[in-house]
C-alpha cells in the first residue's frame, strides 16, 4: 500500500517536472560529460570503496594488477590462485553512471600466463576482453563509459575460460545511479566461487586444479571470498544492533548458482540480479554464476548470523559459510531465546575444528578379538590419520612420512605409541628420507591408539605387532 502510494506520487511529480521544466529531463548516460579525472579506490574483500554520493561523473582511472600466487584454500590445503589485485574475489571497483573508465590491466612479470578482463558493466566487444589480452610483463589500457547502473561481475576470459575463473579470476564492479545509493551503516563485499582440486575436500598439500571435476561440475569446495575461512574467524564481518547492512554479493562460479541466504535474517530489500528491480522481505535469493545481487537488512538482535549457500551440503561440507557478528543489546520482543555463538559448527573435514579440550573420552566398547581390533583400527585410521598418511599408508613426499613398510615404525613400538599420544616433531628419518615437521598429538583413547596401531602394524608390509591398551597406558604413564 505505502509503496503504491509513493509510486503514484512519484509518477505525478515526474509528469509535472517533465511538463513544466523541459530542460531538467534526465540526461542519457552516454550524454553525461566528464571534466575532471580521479584514480579509483580499489578494495579487497570484504571491504568496499567509499560511496560515490553526489559526485559528478568523472574520468576514472582504474589500475588493476594480475597476480598468480599461492594461498590457503583451507587449513593445510594450498592452492595456486590467479587473482585480480591479489585477492579472491578481485579488487572491488566503485563507479557511477556516466563515468569514463580508463582501465589499465597489468600482468605481473612473475606470472606464467596471459590474461584479460571481461567486465559485465562494459558495452562493447567481449566486455573489454579483446582489448585487454595481456602477456606477463605487459600492460594494456582501454576505456569505456558506464551506461547502466547496477552491480556487475568481471572475470578473466582467456582460454580455457573456465579454468581462469575456477582459479579465482573474478570480482565485482558497482555502477551507482546518479545521486548514489541510499546511505547505510555497513557495506560488505562477498563473492561465492566453486573450486576443483585433484585431491578430495580436505586432502592436504598443494592441490592442483582438476579439469575433469570442473567439467563434471563436481566441486570439492564452494566458498565465500576465496577460501573456506574467507568469511569466518578473523575474517568474519561485523555490525551493531540497529544498523543497516548492505551486502554486495557476487557469484564467480564457474559452475554453480548460489541460493544465498542469511540464517537468522530476512532481507528487507534485494536488488534482484543487481539491477533496478527491488524485491522486499526475501528469505533466499538466487545468484546466478556470473551474476550478482545487493541485499539489505537491519540487524535487530545480537548474535552470529550465518551466510550460506542454502544448497546446504555446500555450506556445511564444502565451505560456503560466512559469519556476520552482531553486537549489542538483546531485544526479547524480537528474539527471546538464548543466543549461542558457534551454534552452526561446520561439519566438513575441510572446516572441522580440531578438538580443543585436553580430555580424551575413553571408548566404551573394547575390541574382543584381533579381527575387531583391525576393524575398529581401520575406522580410526580413516578418520584420524588418513588425511596426512594417506589411504595405503604411503604418506606424501616431503610432507608426511609413510606408515607403509616404515622402518621407523617397525623399529620401536613405544616410540610409535608416543608419536600418536604425545605428538612428534623435529627431524626423523623414515626409509632413508628425512622429515622435519610436526604431528600434533591425536585426541583418541588408549583403546583407540591400540587399535589403530595394530591396524597399521598389520597392514602394508609392516611387522605385524599387536598393540594393547596396557602398552599404550604404560607409555602414557612415563
Distance between CA 187 and CA 196 in Å, rounded? 30
Instruction: Spot the catalytic one: 169, 191, 385, 439.
Output: 169
Q: Which does 318 bind (CB under 5 to 8 A by kind): ligand HEC, Cu ion, none?
A: none
Strand (E) or helix (H) holding 219 = none
Instruction: Spot the catalytic one: 115, 158, 265, 309.
Output: 115
Angle between helices 413-422 and 446-457 in degrees, nearest 10: 130
437 binds ligand HEC (CB under 6 A): yes
Distance between CA 257 and CA 192 in Å, rounded? 9
Distance between CA 153 and CA 174 in Å, rounded? 9
Nearest residue (CB) to ligand HEC, 42 versus 452:
452
CB of 437 to ligand HEC, least distance (A): 4
400 binds ligand HEC (CB under 6 A): yes
Nearest residue (CB) to ligand HEC, 17 versus 379:
379
Distance between CA 378 and CA 120 in Å, rounded? 52
SS3 content of the chain, % helix, strand, coil (to 5): 25, 35, 45
Q: Which does 153 bind (CB under 5 to 8 A by kind): ligand HEC, Cu ion, none?
A: none
Residues 6+ apart with CB under 8 A from 348: 201, 202, 316, 317, 318, 319
Stretch that binds ligand HEC, among 142-150, 164-172, 300-308, 418-426 (CB under 6 A): 418-426
439 binds ligand HEC (CB under 6 A): yes
User: What are the phi and psi torsion angles at 334 (to 5°)?
Assistant: -85, -40
CB of 164 to Cu ion, least distance (A): 3
Numbers of helices and strands, H then E, in the chain: 11, 23
Distance between CA 250 and CA 290 in Å, rounded? 8
Whether 108 is catalytic? no
Stretch that binds ligand HEC, among 118-126, 348-356, 421-429, 466-474 (CB under 6 A): 421-429
CB of 431 to ligand HEC, least distance (A): 8
Stretch that binds ligand HEC, among 108-116, 171-179, 281-289, 417-425 (CB under 6 A): 417-425
Looking at the DSSP bridge assignments, the partners of residue 438 are: 425
Nearest residue (CB) to ligand HEC, 18 versus 383:
383
Whether 83 is catalytic? no
Nearest residue (CB) to ligand HEC, 336 versus 383:
383
Based on the number of CB atoms within 10 Å of its own CB, is 173 exposed (0-12), middle (13-18) or buried (19 or more)?
buried
Distance between CA 328 and CA 337 in Å, rounded? 15
Stretch 132-191 residues interacting with Cu ion (CB under 5 A) = 156, 158, 164, 169
Q: Give the residue among 306, 338, 309 at the shortest CA–CA distance from 322.
A: 306
Based on the number of CB atoms within 10 Å of its own CB, is 231 exposed (0-12), middle (13-18) or buried (19 or more)?
buried
Instruction: Spot the catalytic one: 187, 229, 261, 265.
Output: 261
| Stretch 95-124: interaction string toward Cu ion, x if CB under 5 A | --------------------x---------
Stretch that binds ligand HEC, among 5-13, 174-182, 248-256, 400-408 (CB under 6 A): 400-408
Please identify which residue in 181, 351, 403, 421 interacts with ligand HEC, judged by CB under 6 A.
Answer: 403
The binding site for ligand HEC (CB under 6 A) comprises: 384-385, 387-389, 400-403, 406, 408-409, 416, 419-420, 424-426, 428, 430, 435-439, 442, 452, 456
The binding site for Cu ion (CB under 5 A) comprises: 115, 156, 158, 164, 169
Amino acid at each position: 500500500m505505502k509503496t503504491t502510494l509513493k509510486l503514484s506520487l512519484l509518477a505525478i511529480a515526474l509528469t509535472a517536472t517533465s511538463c513544466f521544466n523541459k530542460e531538467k529531463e534526465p540526461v542519457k548516460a552516454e550524454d553525461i560529460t566528464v571534466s575532471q579525472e580521479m584514480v579509483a579506490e580499489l578494495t579487497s574483500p570484504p571491504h568496499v570503496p567509499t560511496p560515490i554520493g553526489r559526485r559528478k561523473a568523472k574520468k576514472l582511472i582504474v589500475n588493476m594488477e594480475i597476480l598468480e600466487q599461492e594461498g590457503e584454500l583451507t587449513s593445510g590445503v594450498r592452492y595456486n590462485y590467479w587473482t585480480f589485485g591479489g585477492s579472491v574475489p578481485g579488487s572491488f571497483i566503485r563507479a557511477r553512471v556516466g563515468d569514463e573508465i580508463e582501465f589499465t590491466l597489468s600482468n605481473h612479470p612473475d606470472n606464467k600466463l596471459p590474461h584479460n578482463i571481461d567486465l559485465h558493466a562494459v558495452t562493447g566487444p567481449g566486455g573489454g576482453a579483446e582489448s585487454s589480452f595481456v602477456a606477463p610483463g605487459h600492460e594494456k589500457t582501454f576505456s569505456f563509459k558506464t551506461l547502466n547502473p547496477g552491480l556487475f561481475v568481471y572475470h578473466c576470459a582467456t582460454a580455457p575460460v573456465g579454468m581462469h575463473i575456477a582459479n579465482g579470476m573474478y570480482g565485482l564492479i558497482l555502477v551507482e545511479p546518479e545521486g548514489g545509493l541510499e546511505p547505510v551503516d555497513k557495506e560488505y563485499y562477498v563473492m561465492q566461487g566453486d573450486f576443483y582440486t585433484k585431491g578430495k575436500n580436505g586432502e592436504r598439500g598443494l592441490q592442483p586444479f582438476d579439469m575433469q571435476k570442473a567439467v563434471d561440475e563436481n566441486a570439492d569446495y564452494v566458498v565465500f571470498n576465496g577460501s573456506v575461512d574467507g568469511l569466518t574467524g578473523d575474517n568474519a564481518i561485523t555490525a551493531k544492533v540497529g544498523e543497516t547492512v548492505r551486502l554486495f554479493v557476487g557469484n564467480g562460479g564457474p559452475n554453480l548458482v548460489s541460493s544465498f541466504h542469511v540464517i537468522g535474517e530476512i532481507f528487507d530489500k534485494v536488488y534482484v540480479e543487481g539491477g533496478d528491480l527491488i524485491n522486499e522481505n526475501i528469505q533466499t535469493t538466487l545468484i546466478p554464476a556470473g551474476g550478482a545481487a545487493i541485499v539489505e537488512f537491519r540487524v535487530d538482535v545480537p548474535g552470529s548470523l550465518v551466510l550460506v549457500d542454502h544448497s546446504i551440503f555446500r555450506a556445511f561440507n564444502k565451505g560456503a559459510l560466512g559469519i556476520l557478528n552482531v553486537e549489542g543489546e538483546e531485544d526479547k520482543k524480537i528474539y527471546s531465546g538464548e543466543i549461542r555463538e558457534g551454534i552452526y559448527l561446520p561439519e566438513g573435514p575441510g572446516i572441522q575444528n580440531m578438538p580443543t579440550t585436553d580430555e580424551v573420552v575413553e571408548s566404551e566398547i573394547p575390541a574382543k578379538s584381533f579381527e575387531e581390533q583391525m576393524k575398529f583400527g581401520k575406522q580410526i585410521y580413516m578418520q584420524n590419520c588418513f588425511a596426512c598418511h594417506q589411504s595405503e599408508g604411503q604418506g606424501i613426499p616431503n610432507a608426511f612420512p609413510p606408515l607403509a613398510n616404515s622402518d621407523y615404525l617397525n623399529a620401536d613400538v613405544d616410540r610409535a605409541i608416543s608419536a600418536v599420544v604425545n605428538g612428534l616433531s623435529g627431524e626423523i628419518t623414515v626409509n632413508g628420507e628425512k622429515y622435519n615437521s610436526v604431528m600434533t598429538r591425536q585426541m583418541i583413547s588408549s583403546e583407540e591408539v591400540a587399535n589403530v596401531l595394530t591396524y597399521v602394524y598389520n597392514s602394508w608390509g609392516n611387522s605385524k605387532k599387536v598393540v594393547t591398551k596396557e602398552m599404550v597406558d604404560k607409555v602414557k604413564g612415563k
